[in-house]
């Protein structure tokens, strides 16, 4: 019988058994000699070396502790485990400014303004006059975490928001 490849499907504590669609993959993979199981990325009792490979699936809470996640990525890199989602891509995608890079490469995104951390900018001058609403998001986020929708008439409220956010037209 051929060797079985042991794979960790990386998830987070609120989806410890993966999503329904992800769970459907596991029995299919066994047909190809792959033993896949869900593993919570920041669990303290995982023996990582028992896995032949890692696949990032739903590590959706990384933005709550981005420094911890970054350290964990480095730890995975140091273990030299095969990773099917390149760690440099995971790192880059943590910071939503990757969208700016996509736009600069010709890929259309929602009209956005990217404001670097600790910038001293006048948001009033940045927001195009045609925008009626503005969504402000942190640069490292998931879902709607710390996301706020403002009507342009609320510009004074927008100014009170720290400038480490990405602005998007809605």
What pLDDT does 145 receive? 65
What pLDDT does 141 receive? 65
pTM of the model: 0.76
Q: Tell me the pLDDT tens digit for each residue of 104-151.
A: 999 998 888 777 766 677 777 778 888 888 777 766 666 666 677 778
What pLDDT does 94 receive? 84
The last residue of one of the domains, among 49, 67, 94, is 94
CATH number at residue 57: 3.40.50.20
CA-based torsion, 12, 140, 68, 162: positive or negative:
negative
**Does one domain contain both 58 and 86?**
yes
**Does one domain contain both 148 and 90?**
no
Least Cα distance to 62 among 92, 17, 83 occurs for: 92
Highest mean pLDDT among 32-41, 62-71, 86-95: 32-41
Question: Is residue 153 in some structural domain?
Answer: yes
Query: Which range among 29-33, 36-40, 103-107, 110-114 shows the weakest confidence by mean pLDDT?
Result: 110-114
**Does one domain contain both 15 and 72?**
yes
**Does one domain contain both 121 and 70?**
no
**Does one domain contain both 29 and 76?**
yes
What pLDDT does 35 receive? 97
Alpha-carbon span 2 to 100, nearest angstrom: 46
**Does one domain contain both 15 and 90?**
yes
Token code pair at residue 12 = 């987070």
What pLDDT does 88 receive? 92
**Does one domain contain both 58 and 11?**
yes
Instruction: Provide the 10 A C-beta neighbour count for residue 35.
Output: 13
Host domain of residue 141: 108-169
| 120 neighbors 132 (Cβ within 8 angstroms) | no
């Amino acid at each position: 019988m051929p060797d079985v490849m042991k794979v960790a499907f990386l998830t987070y504590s609120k989806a410890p058994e993966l999503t329904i669609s992800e769970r459907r993959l596991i029995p299919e993979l066994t047909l190809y000699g792959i033993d896949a199981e869900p593993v919570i990325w920041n669990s303290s009792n995982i023996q990582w070396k028992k896995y032949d490979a890692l696949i990032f699936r739903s590590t959706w809470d990384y933005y709550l502790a981005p420094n911890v996640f970054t350290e964990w990525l480095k730890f995975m890199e140091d273990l030299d485990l095969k990773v099917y989602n390149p760690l440099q891509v995971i790192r880059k995608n943590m910071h939503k400014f990757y969208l700016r890079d996509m736009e600069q490469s010709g890929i259309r995104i929602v009209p956005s303004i990217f404001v670097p951390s600790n910038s001293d900018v006048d948001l009033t001058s940045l927001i195009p006059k045609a925008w009626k609403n503005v969504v402000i998001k942190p640069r490292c986020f998931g879902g709607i975490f710390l996301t706020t929708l403002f009507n342009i008439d609320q510009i004074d409220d927008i100014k009170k928001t720290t400038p480490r956010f990405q602005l998007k037209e809605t």
